[in-house]
């Protein structure tokens, strides 16, 4: 029997290879929450006066973030935002899990049903030119609605559940395709683009996906285990599989590469001139040409649906 490296008494149930520790269930949960606090403090993500909106999809990462954040900062004002995307066979189940968790944690929950709010669903984009890029268009829609929802509930900080694997994938993809403007946005903390908008924080930037999954399992958090039907064949998943295979025998290398990328982002940010931001003529959110990506996509779907 392998003994826990922390408490020295209970049986270890998981190994944290990069930290060279074997942990029992209780010590793993404490390790996870403490790691979250250290990450938040390292990047100065929040202070005691912040009102933090957590975007909760129902998947393992976002529910783990909400649960651990409540444990780490019990006095912090935390609210949850869930977007019902209207995806058949997926969205209803996701909302049910989020509602269950919010009730358990006694967290104020705000649900945005896009079918009711804007008259479309993500499924409707299958009729458009974005039918082969469903994850991309879904991300655009979610980012806009999350910002809007956070502003509506008075939150000045928006926390998302992007994990280390997500960051690595987006970084590599944007680096290969030379999407420098997108690359510099992949930071632990992103300041508001316009006055009144929330800053964005990514507290799980140093958390591999498997740690979030284990935290959900050991704390018995309600989580949606149904895979989104639109994620099949997504390029980001292919890149993620390649990276996981590359680093499977060298867990520390993930952290080294992540650190190198974050340093590179800082250098790129200093070298690049900040792009001008024009308020969107329809919604008032940031845009490059007077009509933001979100409004362009919503207009396209509605024009096809007429």
pLDDT band at 272 (very low <50, low <70, confident <90, very high): low
> Which of these, 185, 244, 198, 247, lies nearest to 55 by C-alpha position?
198
Q: Give domain limits for the chain.
A: 35-273
pLDDT, tens digit, 9 for 90 and up, residues 39-85: 999 999 998 889 999 999 999 999 999 999 999 999 999 999 999 99
Distance, in Å, from the CA atom of 180 to the CA atom of 152, rounded to the nearest integer, reads 31
pLDDT, tens digit, 9 for 90 and up, residues 75-119: 999 999 999 999 998 999 999 999 999 999 999 999 999 999 999
Distance, in Å, from the CA atom of 171 to the CA atom of 261, rounded to the nearest integer, reads 7
Mean pLDDT (the chain, rounded): 90
Long-range contacts of 263-270 (CB under 8 A, 24+ apart): 264/183, 265/183, 265/184, 265/186, 265/187, 268/180, 268/183, 268/184, 269/184
Beta bridge pairs of residue 225: none
pLDDT, tens digit, 9 for 90 and up, residues 180-204: 777 778 889 999 988 899 999 999 9
User: Apex CA 221: angle with CA 149 and CA 171, to 5°?
Assistant: 60
pLDDT at residue 233 in the model: 64
233 sits in the region (left: phi over 0; alpha: psi -120 to 50; else beta) called left
Please classify residue 13 by burial: count the beta carbons closer than 10 Å to its beta carbon, then call 0-12 exposed, 13-18 middle and 19+ buried.
middle
**Residue entry with tokens 């919604």:** 283
Res. 161: pLDDT tops 70: yes
Q: With contact defined as beta carbons under 8 Å apart, do 283 and 296 qualify?
A: no
The alpha carbon dihedral of 39, 42, 48, 50 has a sign of negative
Q: With contact defined as beta carbons under 8 Å apart, do 279 and 287 qualify?
A: yes
Residues 6+ apart with CB under 8 A from 231: 134, 135, 237
Q: Provide mean pLDDT across the span 258-283.
A: 78
pLDDT band at 247 (very low <50, low <70, confident <90, very high): confident
- Least confident among 123-127, 274-278, 281-285: 274-278
User: What are the φ and ψ backbone dihedral angles of 109, each rounded to 5 degrees?
Assistant: -115, 135
Res. 305: pLDDT tops 70: no
Q: How far is C-alpha 23 from the chain's CA centre?
A: 26
The fold for domain 35-273 equals Rossmann fold (3.40.50)
Res. 274: pLDDT tops 60: no
Task: Compare 195 and 242 and report the one with higher pLDDT.
Answer: 195
Q: Beta strands 21-23 and 14-16: pairing type?
A: antiparallel
DSSP H helices in the chain: 25-42, 60-72, 91-105, 114-118, 134-152, 164-176, 180-183, 209-219, 235-247, 251-271, 293-305
């Amino acid at each position: 029997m392998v003994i826990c490296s922390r408490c020295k008494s209970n049986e270890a149930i998981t190994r944290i290879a990069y930290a060279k520790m074997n942990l029992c269930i209780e010590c793993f949960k404490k390790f996870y929450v403490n790691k979250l606090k250290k990450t938040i403090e390292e990047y100065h993500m929040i202070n005691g006066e912040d009102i933090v909106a957590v975007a909760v999809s129902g998947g393992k990462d976002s529910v783990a973030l909400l649960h651990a954040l409540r444990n780490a900062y019990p006095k912090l004002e935390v609210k949850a935002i869930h977007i019902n995307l209207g995806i058949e066979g997926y969205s209803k189940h996701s909302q049910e899990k989020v509602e269950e968790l919010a009730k358990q944690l006694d967290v104020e929950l705000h649900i945005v049903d896009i079918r009711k709010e804007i008259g479309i669903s993500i499924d409707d984009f299958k009729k458009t030119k974005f039918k082969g890029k469903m994850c991309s268009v879904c991300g655009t829609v979610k980012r806009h609605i999350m910002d809007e929802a956070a502003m509506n509930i008075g939150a000045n900080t928006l926390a998302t559940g992007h994990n280390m694997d997500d960051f690595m994938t987006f970084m590599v993809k944007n680096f290969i395709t030379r999407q420098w403007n997108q690359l510099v946005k992949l930071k632990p903390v992103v300041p508001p683009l316009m006055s009144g908008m929330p800053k964005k924080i990514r507290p799980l930037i140093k958390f591999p996906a498997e740690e979030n999954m284990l935290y959900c399992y050991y704390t018995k958090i309600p989580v949606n285990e149904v895979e989104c039907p639109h994620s099949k064949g997504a390029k980001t998943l292919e890149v993620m599989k390649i990276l996981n295979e590359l680093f499977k025998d060298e867990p520390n290398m993930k952290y080294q590469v992540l650190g190198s990328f974050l340093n590179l982002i800082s250098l790129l940010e200093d070298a690049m001139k900040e792009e001008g931001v024009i308020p969107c003529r329809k919604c008032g959110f940031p845009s490059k040409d007077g009509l933001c990506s979100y409004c362009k996509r919503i207009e396209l779907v509605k024009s096809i649906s007429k």
